[in-house]
Structure 1
Amino acid sequence: MPEVLLCVTPAMVSAVQALDESGAAAAHTDVRELLARLRGATQVTLADVRALASQLRLHAPAEPARWVHELVQGSQLLGGPAERAVRERDPALVKRLEKLDAARQNEEYARMVRDITNHGAAKEKLSTEIASFKASMGVGVNLLVSVATMFTAGWFVTKNSIGAGATDVLPIIGGLAAAAATLLLETWLFVIRTSRVDKEASKRDAVRQNALKRNAQQAAEYSDLSRIHDHYD
């Protein structure tokens, strides 16, 4: 990293003379090297100013300016660390950030309307249960009516077929046979309808589970959003 450069001030010139006159250069190599760098210089590094202040406190304590802030007072900054170059963003990462930010906004919106959504879901569940109850009642009533109708039809057809002098046993058997056949047919149709409803419900559940998985995946990806921003901002 480039060293900070400062203009030489009168306090620095006076401090160099005081350190030189102290005779410390003869006994200390670091003082001698420091003075060689500072004599006649028009600009100095901040590290040399710190070293000069330290040597003044050791070898020339009578010098008025013995601290860094006193030596640099009135100086101007000539150079410093280069500013960090701004890196260009990868277009793919920009799109990813936009996608994750949109997911975050959707999550916040879902959190805000959660109460309304839960109320709507409860109302929808109640409506579904009522519709299911009505459908079950309709199936039961339809089954009873169908069985009673077919029993009557079977009884009537059997009685007219065997003649007026026959006993009532055979008409009853014919009515029961017709009712049993109707019951089997209605049961078979009910099983078919139920299987279709179950398949549709399974498809809806699968779609809901996939949506939950996608939301969970987006939430996991959003956890990296701050790190990506810190790396590319």
Structure 2
Amino acid sequence: MKKARLKRKMKIIPGYFKRLRLKEKNFSIISNNCWGGMVYDNFALPYLSPTIGLFFMSNDYIKFLKNIKYYLGGELKQISWKDTPFKEFLYSNKEQYKRSLDKNLDDLIICQLYDIYIVFLHYDSFDEASHKWYRRSKRINFDNMIVKFNDQNEYSKDDFVAFEKLPYKNKIFYTADNSIPFSTSKNILIMYLSQYKNAGHVLDDMKLSEQDFNLTKFLNSLQ
């Protein structure tokens, strides 16, 4: 996490000026990957969420969202990547972890939380990951939440259907699939990233410059 902390410090001054345009700063972002941390860093805001620097497999994330307070009350238990039900997925991405993070599979901090699993991708130890998970869980503002999802990590369309039905007020879904219908619900924003159409799923949803998305306007419109 040392590199992440350095990058965060470098964003403090520009983030401060961006933050001045926000009407509301006390919001919690629950995300299936690092997207939430990117948003907080963009505005130099404190992390009011435990879902920072990590990722869930899609089905596990839906389970987490369906019963979030139950899972937040559970105890993280460290396991090996070989003991996860998605070890083939991790193995297929081993070169990416090595190239971008200089981590081998055995270096990954992976935890079981009841019947779901969390990959703490940007953490260097279980103690660091668990400490920050528990500490940030206590900061969640359940009255002002953004819940973000995308079509990564063994996603299926059934996951989208389940996500759409969840009762959260402010939801965002990133996809590379233009056959996903734009929701008729008022509480979900579907972000279609056409640049990843050939890949079959979103590869990177954190490059705001490549998106037709006014993040400040969205945050100022939170219900």
Alignment TM-score > 0.5, same fold: no
How would you bin the TM-score normalised by the shorter chain? Answer: under 0.3
Using structure 1 for the length normalisation, give the TM-score.
Answer: 0.16
Structure with max Cα Rg: 1
Q: Which structure shows the higher strand fraction?
A: 2
Query: Hey, which of these two has a bigger chunk of helix by percent?
Result: 1
Q: TM-score, normalised by structure 2?
A: 0.16
